[in-house]
């Protein structure tokens, strides 16, 4: 499942847009501070959000970035 390192998240919303399961939303946690929040029940751990995250805030539990990218490349036929 995906999780967010809130100290790295800038709340850009890219992860929310690419999630095919609609498991991510951007929430305001403090005035002017927005972060991604993962709904773990809906998250299928596909890695689309982690691959899109420009700050490295979105990660998958038990997977390293290169493992996620390899998995995505395999799905895309690359």
**How many domains would you assign to the chain?**
1
Contact 14, 53 (CB under 8 A): yes
Note down the domain range covering 30: 2-76
Tokens of 4: 């967010």
According to the model, what pLDDT value does residue 62 have?
74
19-71 pLDDT per residue, tens: 999 999 999 999 999 999 999 999 999 999 999 999 999 998 876 777 777 87
CATH of the domain at 54: 3.30.70.3270
According to the model, what pLDDT value does residue 78 have?
61
According to the model, what pLDDT value does residue 71 have?
75
């Amino acid at each position: 499942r995906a999780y967010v390192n809130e100290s790295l998240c800038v709340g850009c919303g890219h992860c929310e847009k690419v999630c095919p399961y609609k498991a991510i939303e951007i929430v305001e946690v403090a005035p002017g501070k927005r972060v991604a929040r993962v709904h773990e029940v809906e998250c299928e751990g596909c890695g689309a959000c982690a691959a899109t995250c420009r700050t490295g805030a979105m990660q998958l539990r038990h997977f390293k970035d290169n493992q996620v990218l390899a998995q995505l490349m395999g799905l895309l036929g690359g």
